[in-house]
Structure 1
Amino acid sequence: MGLPNTTVTIDDRTALLLIDPQIDFLSPDGVAWGVVGESVTKNNTVANMQALLETAKGCGMEVFVSPRYYYPTDHGWKFEGAVEKLMHDINMFDRSGPLSLVGFEGSGADWMPEFKPLLEDGKTIFANPHKVYGPQNNDLVLQLRKRHIDKVILAGMSANVCVESHMRDLLENGFEVAVAWDATAAAILPGMDGMAAALTNYKMLANATWSTEETLAEMAKVGFSKASYATA
Structure 2
Amino acid sequence: MMVDHDTALVLTDPQNDFLSEAGVAWELVGESVREVGTIQNIERLLEGATAGGVPIFVSPHYYYAHDHQWRFGGTLEQKMHEIGMFDRRGPLTLEGFEGSGADWLDQYKPYLQSDATIVTSPHKVYGPQNNDLALQLRKRGIGRVILAGMSANLCVESHLRDLLEHGFDVTVVSDATAAARHPDLGDGYAAAMTNFRYLANAVIDTAEAAKALSG
For normalisation by structure 2, the TM-score amounts to 0.98
- The superposition leaves residues 6-25 of structure 1 with CA deviations (integer Å, 9 ceiling, x where unpaired) of xx642110000010000000
Instruction: Work out whether 1:111 is the aligned partner of 2:88.
Output: no
Counterpart CA distance in 2 for 1:215 and 1:197 is 22
Runs of 4+ in 1 over 3 A off after TM superposition: none
Cross-structure match for 1:138? 131
AA paired with 1:168? R
Q: How does 1:4-43 map onto structure 2 within 5 Å?
A: 9-43=2-36
Instruction: Work out whether 1:200 is the aligned partner of 2:159.
Output: no
| Aligned partner of residue 98 in structure 1, secondary structure | coil
Alignment equivalent of 1:76, drawn from 58, 69, 91: 69
Q: How does 1:1-232 map onto structure 2 within 5 Å?
A: 9-191=2-184, 192-220=186-214, 222=215
Deviation for aligned residue 1:117:
1.1
| Aligned partner of residue 114 in structure 1, secondary structure | helix
Counterpart CA distance in 2 for 1:206 and 1:10 is 16
Gaps of 5+ in 2: none
- The superposition leaves residues 120-172 of structure 1 with CA deviations (integer Å, 9 ceiling, x where unpaired) of 11110011000000000000000000000000000100000000000000000
AA paired with 1:201? N
Counterpart CA distance in 2 for 1:115 and 1:184 is 15
- The superposition leaves residues 16-64 of structure 1 with CA deviations (integer Å, 9 ceiling, x where unpaired) of 0010000000010100000000000001101000000011011100000
Counterpart CA distance in 1 for 2:25 and 2:31 is 11
Counterpart CA distance in 2 for 1:171 and 1:44 is 26
Identity of aligned residues (%): 60
Counterpart CA distance in 1 for 2:210 and 2:50 is 12
Q: Is the 8 A contact 2:149 2:176 kept in 1?
A: yes
Counterpart CA distance in 1 for 2:117 and 2:41 is 18
Gaps of 5+ in 1: 1-7, 223-232
Kindly tell me the number of residue pairs found equivalent between the two proteins: 214
Cross-structure match for 1:3? none
Counterpart CA distance in 1 for 2:3 and 2:25 is 33
